[in-house]
Amino acid sequence: MSHITLIRHGQANSTATDEASYDKLSDLGHQQAGWLGGYLQDSQTHHTRLYTGTLRRHKETADGMNTGLDAVVDERLNELEYFTLATLLEDQHGVPFPSEQGAFTHHLPKVFDHWKEGKLEGTPESWQSFHDRIDDALREIATGQGPALVVTSGGLISMAMAQAMGLGIPAMARIALAIMHTSMHRLFPIGGHWSPVLFNAVPHLDTPERRAAQTHI
């Protein structure tokens, strides 16, 4: 098994309230991607393969990183449809979409819990389908030769970490909320299992002039 470095996309359209309008990088998101690519080049970090989901924000981030690698695009690496799930939660259970950032700490685990327990009707996919496609994609990537970069989204990264560590929904939600844009998260195979050896690393943003670019939303 080869090790995998998961990367959250750069900052997207943070004022969006639906999937389509969210799916593009902000100006800062493009800059974050460029800074990450520069860091990987300057530090001579070795990767032989690059994967992305099919979403625009994934592709724009990978392009901005300018790794020189040809990206393999895989829809299994796409994000869960949070806005869609949140709309279903509001329509079917009366739980409103958060109006301020702090409220997401309570909203996100509610979305995850209702989704996992089958309490939302008409979801784009089931919780189990989301779980299984991530597991399948990462296991397939791990069978390839050499370390791989995977540009994806925060929800997928939190699920991958939860799978590796056997975590429940409360912990998975806290992980998802903590993940910064263009952060790196590495899974290393130890004894036939994934072990997280890097989480939420943003060395390319850890300078005085760039710390304001350490964004979550």
pTM of the model: 0.95
- 127-142 vs 104-116: helix axis angle to the nearest 10? 90
At residue 196, φ and ψ (nearest 5 deg) are -70, 120
Q: What is the CA radius of gyration of the chain?
A: 17
Split at pLDDT 50, 70, 90, the class of 2 is: confident
Please list the residues that pair with 184 across neighbouring strands: 7, 201
Percent of the chain exceeding pLDDT 90 equals 87
The predicted structure's pLDDT at residue 157: 98
CA 33 – CA 28 distance, rounded (Å): 9
The residue-averaged pLDDT of 138-166 equals 96
Write down the domain spans for the chain. 19-56+63-80+125-208
Averaged over 147-171, what is the pLDDT?
97
How confident is residue 129, by pLDDT bands cut at 50, 70 and 90? very high
Alpha-carbon gap, residue 217 to 54, rounded angstroms: 21
Instruction: Give the sheet arrangement for strand 4-8, strand by strand.
Output: 71-73, 49-52, 148-152, 4-8, 184-190, 193-201
Classified by CATH at the fold level, domain 19-56+63-80+125-208 comes out as: Rossmann fold (3.40.50)
Q: For residue 14, what pLDDT is reported? A: 80
Report the alpha-carbon distance of residue 110 to residue 134 in Å, rounded: 21
- Residues 43-101 pLDDT 10s: 998 899 999 999 999 999 999 999 999 999 999 999 999 999 999 999 999 999 988 88
pLDDT bin (cut points 50, 70, 90) of residue 193 is: confident
